[in-house]
Amino acid sequence: MSTDSWKTLDLITEASQFLATREIENPRLETELLLAAALDLRRIDLYLQFERILNETEVELFRSYVSERLRGRPVQYITGEAGFRLLDLEVTPAVLIPRPETELLVEHALTLVPDDQSTRVLDLCCGSGAVAIAMATEAASVQVRGSDLSPAALAVARRNCERHQVADRLQLVCGDLLTPFAGHACFDLILSNPPYINSSEIETLQAEVRDHEPLLALDGGADGLDVLRRIIDAAPGHLVAGGHLLVEVGYTQAHKVAELMQAADLEPSVHEDLADIPRIVVGRKTN
């Protein structure tokens, strides 16, 4: 890209074409996200400023973002922002970037929240706080707790809680899964998007995931089920009768996870994502 003065639209057009030649998916979208971050604008505001002449500092900052993207850094870590359902969330390399599949975890959980009574929700492996905050913002009757093993991840989650003004209904604790809640009152819903990638498959992931996202949030052990087993084993002791455990799983894991739930006296059901992949497994405590 040359060093001449640039209008916003011209820079978007050229940079999009440049990223496309480097086989970046969604080059126009990523260009707009990077430029909006460089200009400290919302992406939609770019469309109102297509004729704006950018100064050298703005152009150089944008180019530095493009260079980072070409080196494989995810656009969300460059901009420090990720969308999740109705939320704009801060993300850093300490947390997993929220995925559309995980939005389904929230969607199914919301169907289990009654309108007329308080519901106690626990989000395990909460990361950025995406699931916990979505539950708190979309269901006024819920009281949410979240836990994560990573203090750095929880620092991000706390900032996101403050940003979305749900700190009064969302308590975050640092700890290993359900351990911090020993002796606590039972929950109506326990949700989790845990690590579920087989250890042997980590090296086969896309470079931008493998090299940039936190291994702690990805690696589920030899068969990907280490953390899921621990959650399923412990969850019944923390659920009320009729309560539900909802987990996101890998694309080949739903049947096995349903079997594990059945063995733990949780009545399972499996739900597909938008690509028809079994993605969410729900277990109901029947006694």
- Which segments of the chain belong to CATH 3.40.50.150? 93-285
For residue 246, list its beta bridge partners: 191, 282
- Going by C-alpha positions, the residue among 226, 207, 206, 208 that lies closest to residue 216 is 226
Tokens of 45: 């505001």
Tokens of 170: 């969302």
In sequence order, what are the residues at sequence separation of 6 or more whose Cβ sits closer than 8 angstroms to the Cβ of residue 105?
131, 191, 193, 246, 247, 248, 280
CATH numeric code, 93-285: 3.40.50.150
Which pLDDT score, from 0 to 100, does residue 182 have?
83
* Helical segments of 165-235, H only: 207-210, 226-234
Which pLDDT score, from 0 to 100, does residue 243 have?
96
DSSP reduced 3-state for 252: coil
Task: Using CB atoms within 10 Å of the CB of residue 246, give its burial: 0 to 12 exposed, 13 to 18 middle, 19+ buried.
Answer: buried
pTM value is: 0.92
Tokens of 269: 């059901």
d(CA 258, CA 171): 29
Tokens of 162: 């403050």
CA angle 59, 206, 98 (to 5 degrees): 75
Q: How far is CA 36 from each of CA 49, 62, 80, 284, rounded to the nearest angstrom?
A: 11, 9, 12, 44
d(CA 168, CA 70): 41
Tokens of 73: 């850094």
Which DSSP symbol is given to 94? T
In sequence order, what are the residues at sequence separation of 6 or more whose Cβ sits closer than 8 angstroms to the Cβ of residue 266?
232, 235, 236, 245, 283, 284, 285, 286
pLDDT in tens, the chain (287 residues): 444 678 888 889 989 998 998 888 899 999 999 999 999 988 888 888 888 889 999 999 999 999 999 999 999 999 999 999 999 999 999 999 999 999 999 999 999 999 888 999 999 999 999 999 999 999 999 999 999 999 999 999 999 999 999 999 999 999 999 999 887 669 999 999 999 999 999 999 998 899 999 999 999 999 999 999 999 999 999 999 999 999 999 999 999 999 999 999 999 999 999 999 999 999 999 88
Buried/exposed code over 115-144 (b: 16+ C-beta within 10 A; e: otherwise):
eeeebbbbbbbbbbbbbbbbbbbbbeebbb
Q: How far is CA 136 from the centre of its chain?
A: 15
Pick the CATH number of 6-71 from 1.10.8, 2.40.170, 1.10.20, 1.10.10: 1.10.8
| Distance from the first to the final alpha carbon of the chain | 65
Between the CA atoms of 28, 31, 35 and 36, what dihedral angle is there, to the nearest 10 degrees? 60
Which pLDDT score, from 0 to 100, does residue 4 have?
61
- Which segments of the chain belong to CATH 1.10.8? 6-71
- Going by C-alpha positions, the residue among 284, 196, 278, 197 that lies closest to residue 246 is 284
